[in-house]
């Protein structure tokens, strides 16, 4: 298996150990160290979209002369005659794949990293196929067939494990040669706290000049992760968890961005307000080139837009089920020990018992509700907003999504630069959607239907 010892595949005891170790280097403050890589990928993506939409002539036959990202974006157009109309289900996939691979292994273009990206993309491109393929994959014995897609997947997994294991070994050996141990980097809570403060200052000052060697990657932080009681991760655990995070974050982030862009394209008023807030932040910094992660994160309406989209359209429709360890009663329903219990966030977020839903507006896209809720919480003295479970897109409790901070960082960076540089709209001749909605549930993912397009044009005035 690609991630058999990954965090999402482990039984409770092993999960607790791996989670404890991983969190030493994967908290909200520590993940800020990934921003220089995410920023580089986002800038390349924005420049590539601009290159495509600005070109007037047919670009169908010259993709080989363009950069990799630009070529991939060209393939996301609905047709070769229109350079600003894109298939919404496709447009963010080149970005998401590149970002997660670069965050995992670094910005370098070495042969190993290129091969890893090709193999990983090959495996997960099968994800877009029909539900029939997904059903076949869970039939006992299917994945062991000596031909076809099962053989392709097994060979790709073997190559991915070999290449990434070599990178882990190279990094560990480099640390040994410099007499660096994991215990010296993430030893205690106090030491981690100090490191967090220093990392924040370091990122603000040096995020654009960080050398490739100094940049944080997922592989590096998992190799470095250390807990005084649980120790470090093994090489196999590092490899499997790297791919676990990559698999969990690639499609979900791309799908989430698609949902956000559709809602912005549908609502000119919300789009214009977001652009106004972003423009004001850029104006204060004199140039978009001076924008830091702290600037992006300070845009409260951007956060509200993202959170509202994730409330209505979580990329994964529900929280992973839990197995009850004892008999219990839930809302008058007796649930015996051993039962699987889950929450459909796609439904729960819209119901009246959710504190952010008022006057039956649970199905309406209204980012302002999160601004109102923040003011309400301040008056009520609520310091931990997750206590009432009004927002469970990334789960909640003791097992929230470990990669949520990195996912939100990518979404915020992309949307910030996207609305600063472009206007978004729906095609005038957009056909009616089946059942009146442009989305479909491809269990467990909520994705766009294939016939949904978005028009992207360069902003004239800012």
Instruction: Kindly list the distances between the CA atom of residue 76 and the CA atoms of 54, 69, 274, 302, 419, in Å, as whole numbers in the listed order.
Output: 15, 11, 25, 25, 19
Mean pLDDT within 282-300: 95
Query: Comparing C-alpha atoms, which of 256, 185, 217, 293 is closest to residue 404?
Result: 256
Task: Give dist(CA 111, CA 122) in Å, integer.
Answer: 16
Percent of all residues in the chain with a pLDDT value above 70, rounded to a whole number: 82
pLDDT on residue 315: 87
- The DSSP result for 308-362, as a single string, is HHHHH--SBSSEEEEE-SS-EEETTEEE-TT-EEEE-HHHHTTSTTSTT--TT-T
Instruction: Kindly list the distances between the CA atom of residue 415 and the CA atoms of 180, 244, 304, in Å, as whole numbers in the listed order.
Output: 38, 25, 12
Higher-confidence residue of 137 and 154: namely 154
Query: Hey, is 447 helix, strand or coil?
Result: strand
Q: Is the model's pLDDT at 204 over the cut of 90?
A: no
pLDDT on residue 281: 97
pLDDT on residue 213: 56
Reported confidence tier of residue 270, pLDDT bands at 50, 70, 90: very high
Reported confidence tier of residue 195, pLDDT bands at 50, 70, 90: very low
Reported confidence tier of residue 199, pLDDT bands at 50, 70, 90: very low
pTM of the model: 0.85
Higher-confidence residue of 168 and 189: namely 168
Read off the pLDDT of residues 206-218 as tens digits, 9 standing for 90 and up: 444 455 555 788 8
pLDDT on residue 414: 97
* Domains in the chain with CATH codes: 7-266+423-458 (1.10.630)
Higher-confidence residue of 431 and 312: namely 312
């Amino acid at each position: 298996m690609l991630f058999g010892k990954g965090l999402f595949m482990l039984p409770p005891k092993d999960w607790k150990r791996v989670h404890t170790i991983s969190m030493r280097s994967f908290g909200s403050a520590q993940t800020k160290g990934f921003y220089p890589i995410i920023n580089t990928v986002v800038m390349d993506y924005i420049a590539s979209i601009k290159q495509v939409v600005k070109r007037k002539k047919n670009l169908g036959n010259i993709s080989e002369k363009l950069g990799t990202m630009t070529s991939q974006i060209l393939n996301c157009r609905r047709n070769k005659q229109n350079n600003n109309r894109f298939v919404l289900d496709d447009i963010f996939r080149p970005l998401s794949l590149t970002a997660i691979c670069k965050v995992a292994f670094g910005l370098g273009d070495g042969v190993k990293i290129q091969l890893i990206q090709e193999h990983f993309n090959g495996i997960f491109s099968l994800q877009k196929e029909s539900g029939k393929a997904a059903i076949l994959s869970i039939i006992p014995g299917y994945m062991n067939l000596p031909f076809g897609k099962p053989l392709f997947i097994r060979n790709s997994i073997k190559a991915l494990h070999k290449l990434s294991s070599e990178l882990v070994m190279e990094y560990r050996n480099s640390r040994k040669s410099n007499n660096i141990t994991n215990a010296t980097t993430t030893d205690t809570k106090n030491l981690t706290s100090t490191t967090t403060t220093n990392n924040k200052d370091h990122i603000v000052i040096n995020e654009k000049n960080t050398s490739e060697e100094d940049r944080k990657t997922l592989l590096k932080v998992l190799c470095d992760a250390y807990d005084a009681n649980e120790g470090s991760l093994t090489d196999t655990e590092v490899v499997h968890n790297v791919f676990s995070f990559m698999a969990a974050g690639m499609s979900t982030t791309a799908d989430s961005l698609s949902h956000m862009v559709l809602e912005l394209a549908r609502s000119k008023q919300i789009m214009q307000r977001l652009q106004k807030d972003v423009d004001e932040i850029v104006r204060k910094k004199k140039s978009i080139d001076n924008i830091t992660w702290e600037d992006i994160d300070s845009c409260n309406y951007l956060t509200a837009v993202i959170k509202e989209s994730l409330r209505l359209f979580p990329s994964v429709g529900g929280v992973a089920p839990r197995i009850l360890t004892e008999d219990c009663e839930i809302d008058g329903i007796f649930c015996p020990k051993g039962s699987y219990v889950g929450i459909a966030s796609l439904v729960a977020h819209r119901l009246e018992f959710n504190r952010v839903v008022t006057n039956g507006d649970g199905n309406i896209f209204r980012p302002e509700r999160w601004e109102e809720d923040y003011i309400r919480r301040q008056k009520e003295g609520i310091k931990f907003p997750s206590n009432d479970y009004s927002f469970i897109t990334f789960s909640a409790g003791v097992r929230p999504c470990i990669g949520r901070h990195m996912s939100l960082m990518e979404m915020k960076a992309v949307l910030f630069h996207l609305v600063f540089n472009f206007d978004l709209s729906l095609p005038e001749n957009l056909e009616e959607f089946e059942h009146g909605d442009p989305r479909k549930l491809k269990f467990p993912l909520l994705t766009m239907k294939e016939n949904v397009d978005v028009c992207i044009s360069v902003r004239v005035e800012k």
